[in-house]
Amino acid sequence: MGFARTCSVALVGVEGVVVEVQADLEPGVAAFTLVGLPDKSLSESRDRVRAAVVNSGAEWPQKKLTVGLSPASVPKSGSGFNLAVAAAVLGAAERIDPRTIADLVLIGELGLDGRVRPVRGVLPAVLAAAEAGYRQVVVPEQTAGEAALVPGVSVLGVRTLRQLIAVLTDEPVPDEEPTEEGRPDAMLAGLLVPGAGIGTGLAADPGADPTGGPDLADVAGQHRARHALEIAAAGSHHLMLSGPPGAGKTMLAERLPGILPPLTRQESLEVTAVHSVAGILPPGEPLVRRAPYCAPHHSATMQSLVGGGNGLPRPGAVSLAHRGILFLDEAPEFSGKVLDALRQPLESGHVVIARAAGVVRLPARFLLVLAANPCPCGRHTLQGAGCECPSSLVRRYQARLSGPLLDRVNLRVEAEPVTRADLLGLGGRGEATATVAARVHEARARAAARLADTPWSVNSEIPGHELRTRYLAAPGALAAAERDIERGLLTARGLDRVLRVAWTVADLAGHDRPDSGDIALALEMRTGIARGVPVGAGERA
């Protein structure tokens, strides 16, 4: 009787579970049984593995073969187990030494000719293996760079099963014919999901060079909205832009990624893991360094926005925008249930999706940007524009954004109609993206230094209790906010968010702590009630 075991990884959402792949050979009628809760694609791997082993020059054992995937209670899906199953079978048949594969983690799909095809989710799979204590992984050659992002793990990238057998048996490694230059590589088809990427409003690495993308200087006028954009970027505060069509709301949102600082190493790994599972990670660019930007259409369903699908849930737009920006243009046109589903991830930074196949926890810490017209025709706030929408229709349209959702939005700014002087540039162009990005970087550095010994990195993450007890505003600065609470204009959650915004305004202005002017600007941008604060308040001279 021959027995061998090796390891692979089963992905549940963006988290991995190390699975032991066991192969057992017994005398009897030749048969191949696969057990351990496999799905349809994994059950079909029996024929792929058999053909790959034979076409790689190895002999298929003519005995009763049983392959078990443990733990059996975890659902296994996908074709990433093929390489581990083939190695376990060859170990049981003594073609390779079973001891050499016992502590290996193998991830990859096998073609009928023995080629190792790349699969999605390599980074979170290798992260799970490293956390479980494994230090050697074998992955397809195309995803070796992605796997190498995990520190402390030795990565072997193989192109064919023949190469893996040669490495494990200390035989000469055969040279495989490389893909001809200019010829399409069919092996990369397993990495990208059709319909994902920039075509759906998602850019995995927008503006790698902040000066190479859309520039803030292209936006005419909108001085207060530009200032709100800078505050949102500096403190990661949620933002709502309302105003007539053509005022520049979408232009402003599209330029927000350019002023955000690059992701930290840990944040890059988190974002790359989600994008790898979703199948939108560009080949040759294993690490996402810039904040992602996701702009789904207003016809998006609940599953596409929050996550879901058949079987185990897959990441939705809120997870694809993790550590980046989720822009909802024409926000009132979204379904009310879809919008209200954002309320929990806005608070917790993750989304928990329960389905019959299991419960999945997906990261969802994003910066929400909403854009809305004042009424269905968009001319309600324009003088003499001829808005014919009844007042009841205007109220119903604006009520599509529920109060609990808007209560979680820190900044609410009215985008004013663009004047002729603004369009002709008579007042001069606004600041460029690079200038604003430098100021945002300084504010973020100031906040990071203040929060160095805490689990938070930006002002929007500071709990309300800490804001009221540890990070205090200047004496008397909260007088206006206290009056708004007494009048019912501000909720308890609203006060916490005003304090967070005020700290960001103070960081941009170089203040040690928020003063009355910083609080007044934060209140004005939350309630929409003018406080007499100059447009440039909070900016450095």
Q: One digit per residue, pLDDT tens: the chain, 541 residues? A: 589 999 999 998 888 999 999 999 999 999 999 999 898 888 888 999 999 999 999 999 999 999 999 999 888 888 899 999 999 999 999 999 999 999 999 999 999 999 999 998 999 999 999 999 999 999 999 899 999 999 999 999 999 999 999 999 999 988 776 655 555 666 666 566 555 544 344 444 444 444 457 889 888 888 889 999 999 999 999 999 998 888 889 999 999 999 999 999 999 999 999 999 888 887 677 888 999 999 999 999 998 899 887 767 789 999 999 999 999 999 999 999 999 999 999 999 999 988 776 788 999 999 999 999 988 888 877 766 678 889 899 899 989 999 889 989 999 998 888 877 777 765 567 789 999 999 999 999 999 999 998 999 999 999 989 998 899 999 989 998 988 888 888 888 889 999 999 999 999 999 999 999 999 999 999 887 777 676 554 444 3
Q: How much is the pLDDT for 178?
A: 65
Q: How many residues does the chain have?
A: 541
Question: How many angstroms separate the most distant Cα atoms in the chain?
Answer: 90
Specify the pTM. 0.88
Give dist(CA 204, CA 390) in Å, integer: 42
Nearest to 42 by CA among 224, 277, 311, 416: 311
Q: What share of the chain is helix, strand, coil (3-state, %, to 5)?
A: 40, 15, 45
Nearest to 144 by CA among 124, 118, 163, 167: 118
Q: How much is the pLDDT for 136?
A: 96
Give the SS3 label for residue 368.
strand
Q: In what helix (H) or strand (E) does residue 373 lie, and over which residues does it extend?
A: none
Give dist(CA 105, CA 132) in Å, integer: 11
Question: Cα torsion at 309, 311, 316, 320 (round to 10°)?
Answer: -140
What is the per-residue burial (b if ≥16 Cβ within 10 Å, else e) of 348-360? eeebebeeeeeeb
